[in-house]
């Protein structure tokens, strides 16, 4: 088969343009899908971080109050904490929800004990004679969950 040399250049251009354009289109679609996935993951991480941080802050306040006050009440702070746990049930893995419930149980357990003076609480915390911080375990579980969400983005 013989191809006229004068036709080779136009034929190459006609065949090369769709192939090059198709490759560019495929690359653009792939890039857009990757960016969309990364944006969804970033949004999911931001949502989880916000709820987890809100829980930790609320639980920290309630934990300190449980140590230094004798009264037990179901006020706005307690309801907020329970609401955060219920919100976690919508998206968080069972380990996170179980960890949050364990924190709530620890707060209730401490609330049922006699209160201690703030000075003694500080001394116990410095001497490390207190029970382990229930929020530490929860924070580690949350960190593992966030790391797992990042891993799924890759």
pTM score: 0.74
The string of pLDDT tens digits covering residues 29-51 is: 888 888 888 888 888 899 999 99
Query: pLDDT tens digits for the chain (154 residues)?
Result: 677 777 777 777 777 878 888 888 888 888 888 888 888 888 889 999 999 999 999 999 999 888 888 777 777 888 999 999 999 999 999 999 999 999 999 999 988 888 777 777 666 666 665 567 889 999 999 999 999 988 887 6
Confidence (pLDDT) at 10: 77
Angle in degrees, CA 112, 125, 140, rounded to 5: 85
The string of pLDDT tens digits covering residues 21-32 is: 888 888 888 888
Q: What is the C-alpha end-to-end distance of the chain, expressed in Å?
A: 49
Rg for the chain, CA atoms, rounded: 29
Confidence (pLDDT) at 139: 94
CA distance 47 to 49: 6
- Whether residue 135 contacts residue 82, with contact meaning beta carbons closer than 8 Å, is answered with no
Angle in degrees, CA 81, 84, 85, rounded to 5: 90
- Whether residue 137 contacts residue 99, with contact meaning beta carbons closer than 8 Å, is answered with yes
CA distance 103 to 138: 7
Angle in degrees, CA 145, 151, 154, rounded to 5: 155
- Look at residues 64, 58, 63 and name the one whose alpha carbon lies nearest to residue 82: 58
- Whether residue 62 contacts residue 33, with contact meaning beta carbons closer than 8 Å, is answered with no
Contacts of 80 (CB under 8 A, 6+ apart): 58
Confidence (pLDDT) at 68: 82
- Going from the C-alpha of 71 to that of each of 74, 96, 107, the distances in angstroms are 10, 28, 13
């Amino acid at each position: 088969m013989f191809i006229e040399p004068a036709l080779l250049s136009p034929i190459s251009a006609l065949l090369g343009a769709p192939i090059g354009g198709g490759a560019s289109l495929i690359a653009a679609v792939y890039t857009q899908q990757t960016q969309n996935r990364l944006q969804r993951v970033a949004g999911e991480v931001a949502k989880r971080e916000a709820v987890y941080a809100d829980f930790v802050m609320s639980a920290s306040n309630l934990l300190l109050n449980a140590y230094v006050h004798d009264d037990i009440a179901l006020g706005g702070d307690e309801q907020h904490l329970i609401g955060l746990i219920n919100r976690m049930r919508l998206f968080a893995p069972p380990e996170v929800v179980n960890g949050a419930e364990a924190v709530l149980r620890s707060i209730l357990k401490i609330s049922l004990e006699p209160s201690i003076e703030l000075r003694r609480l500080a001394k116990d915390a410095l001497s490390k004679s207190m029970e382990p911080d229930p929020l530490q375990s929860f924070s580690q579980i949350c960190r593992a969950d966030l790391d797992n969400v990042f891993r799924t983005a890759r």
